[in-house]
Copies of this chain bind each other. A is one copy, B any other.
């Protein structure tokens, strides 16, 4: 290199921390005062930041994005869950989205270069605490699941709150991982760990929706495509283009770069160009770094190569 490559380096500050995200879903998307109270409970913890709040009145559901150091994020998730349990009554809740509890699902997600195992441990700790202190049934799911049957949320939520209300006391398959085998107005909560989810769209320079449909079928896991990819075809506001709209459930298994390349190749076979990519919401550093690693052939590259990530870990670690 051109300057200073021979210089002696000294490591940065010793104190740095893991980074995690928690994206709890609450069964309330209509009453602003209830949503505000739950968000306030999460925001009351120093070291945990509420970066985003999405609410949907038809789903009657709210999603918070909390991020920071593991301890504060776990505390924020617990406080929000405790608040929701006092404010939401599942016996009168209606919405089109499947749900089993006032706090329906609490996923912990590793950020930066944090290990999944740390998020599994957080899920177990917070799940046990929800069971003990709030006396709610808790199911561990995702990477924290203790049986394959509880790994996937759709399996866990089959029949929803109403089925648990009817069958939990008598059906041995429904016995929770933590907490009582009985159900109250706050329902049950699924607590787990999963990789970051990325909402990623690719726009095609054609008005022919059937081409986007074919490409979506070709890449989504459920049709035998790429692992950890959900995909659907959509029209957009612009009648001259169509979109392949995706959830990437684990970019370590299938990266944005691979998905883009597959769509580009498939579109080319129909004589169609890829116009552009689009992220819906934010993406974790690791998913973007993985694109750089693959496209520029880095031998090694992770989120710690990003100055801002290192700064964040140091700031939170103090």
Contact = CB atoms under 8 A, between A and B. Distances in A.
Interface in A27-64: 29, 43, 49-59, 63
B314 A315 contact: no
Contacts of A257: 295-296
B308 A19 contact: yes
B275 A297 contact: yes
A165 interface: no
B297 A276 contact: yes
A50 B13 contact: yes
B285 A307 contact: yes
Contacts of A275: 297
Interface string A233-269: 0100000000001110000000011001000000000
Nearest to A309: B308
B51 A310 contact: yes
Nearest to A230: B2
B307 A54 contact: no
A114 to B, nearest CB: 11
A175 interface: no
A305 interface: yes
A292 B289 CA distance: 8
A6 B51 contact: no
Interface in A266-292: 274-280, 282-285, 288-289, 291-292
Nearest to A303: B308
A21 interface: yes
A301 interface: yes
Contacts of A5: 199, 245, 280
